[in-house]
Amino acid sequence: MKVLYTAEATVHGGRDGQAQSSDGHLAVKLSVPKEMGGPGGEGTNPEQLFAAGYAACFQSALMLTARRQKVDASASTVTAKAGIGPVGEGAFGLEVELHVFIPDVDQETGEKLVELAHQVCPYSNATRGNIPVRLYFEEQPLAIA
């Protein structure tokens, strides 16, 4: 593989710390969610960052594959849900759900585009065979809480 871009970020303090990209464009406070025994609060967490990255990457792959199929997916939305939980003997694992909405696209076409995007997306390729990833084509966008 010829690397086109390398992202770099440094974290101090783990899940209760801070993360910053080398170019300074990303600077976030991290905090452990209440559901994991932490205080929750103002900070984000690695699962939210992973979900955001996966959703953004997947939507780009979706728009690419839709364009190849002569379908307009520019108004699409992708919601990623990244779950974390114990997998035994002190280890933790991840799982992902991707919920995709494309206005004015029928179920069959939408499901085909989602599967094609799943074959192209770098996050999907990185996670394939490593963690469960479930794909859903939605008739309406998911509400953001």
Alpha-helical (H) ranges within 1-145 are 46-68, 107-120, 122-127
In angstroms, the CA 105 to CA 27 distance is 37
Q: Name residue, tokens 């799982």.
A: 95
In angstroms, the CA 121 to CA 54 distance is 9
pLDDT at 41: 82
| Span(s) in the chain for CATH 3.30.300.20 | 46-138
Residue 55's alpha-carbon distances to 45, 58, 80, 82, 107, in angstroms, are: 16, 5, 5, 10, 20
| Span(s) in the chain for CATH 2.20.25.10 | 1-44
Q: Name residue, tokens 């905090």.
A: 31
pLDDT at 144: 66
pLDDT at 132: 97
Q: Tens place of pLDDT for every residue, the chain, 145 residues?
A: 999 999 999 999 999 999 999 999 999 999 999 999 999 888 999 999 999 999 999 999 999 999 999 999 999 999 999 999 999 899 999 999 999 999 999 999 999 999 999 999 999 999 999 999 999 999 878 776 5
> pTM here?
0.94
Statement: 46-138 belongs to CATH 3.30.300.20? yes
Computed over every residue of the chain, the mean pLDDT equals 95
Q: Class assignment of domain 1-44?
A: mainly beta
Which of 79, 85, 90, 89 is CA-nearest to residue 35?
85
